[in-house]
Structure 1
Amino acid sequence: MINLIPKEEKKKVIRDSYYKLVILFLVMLSTAILIAFVVILPSYFLSSVKNSIINVKLEMQKSEPMPPPDQQTLIVIKNLNNKLTLIENAENNKFTISRKVINAIVLKKMPDIKITDISYENDPLKGKKISIEGNAPSREVLLLFRLALENDNNFKQVDLPISNFVKGSNIQFYLSLIPS
């Protein structure tokens, strides 16, 4: 088929189609922005009116004199202060077994020893105490574990009852530690 349109005219038609495409894109974009603006406008006005109403109420409340607290309010405040003091004192006297102590126990443990329970207690009469229960394959391994804990500075006293050494192998042991 023979092309009857000259090259200059072809280029002009292609350029015009690009211009039309760009103009169409800009018109659609501006229409979308206009629709979004119209949709958001009522919400904006509503929130600005609510904001001004809240500011007016806040100014009115600031200008009002503060009434003196009545007897019941004072009692509630005093009771709350007592409870807060009690909680703060309990936090100061709290015995927490730290990560440092648990890590010291776990790092001193031989691979053959299986620890099944680590517990702690804070008795006002006896003091702080950490108890360890577990299984050891032999007396020698259990004795080495006890010696390793005794040499650790985190513990003042390591108590391993002699009854744990009655069995020769597969020993279920109970060990108590007093932290420093």
Structure 2
Amino acid sequence: MFNLLPIEQKREIKREYILRLLIAGGAMAFISLAIAAFLVLPSYFIALAEYRLVLAEQLAAENLLELKEAAELRTVMRESRDKLSVSALLGGEVSPSEVLDKALSARANNEGVKIRGIRWERKTEKVFAVTLTGEADNRDALLSFKKGLDRDGTFEKVLLPVSNFANAENINFIISAEAVFKK
């Protein structure tokens, strides 16, 4: 019967057939995508909820870590403050400025000596082991500085190693002494 139809009707029927096929295929694709989206939607919401939960746990862990670090930092600061506390270090008897003043007064008449560092350690309540480091322009300046410490009366057992006199100029030195404060 198809062969009995004129060519124009055959084309029309073929065009309607392709149109029906496209509409049916499109409808099936749309229905398939709608069902797939409907079935994937719960998985998406579960994954989103888990992501938010993990993010919240991570934030809580970071905050906890920051709190632990802050607590550790406070502990370290408290220990450092106790170590650096002048009254705890020196028993409130002698201030560090007194040790520094005595060392600088010995240097006052000698411009050729530069003190780079002072380190002291408490031996008894009024006796401190003092180590002075610095630089002297020449041997004479270093020797007069040592004699000034000896004359001061506060420093006893002033030790200046002979190796400090090896250079004639620009001498890096280390002087060890005991400072006795009679208060």
TM-score, length basis structure 1: 0.44
TM-score, length basis structure 2: 0.43
Larger radius of gyration: 2
More helix by share: 2
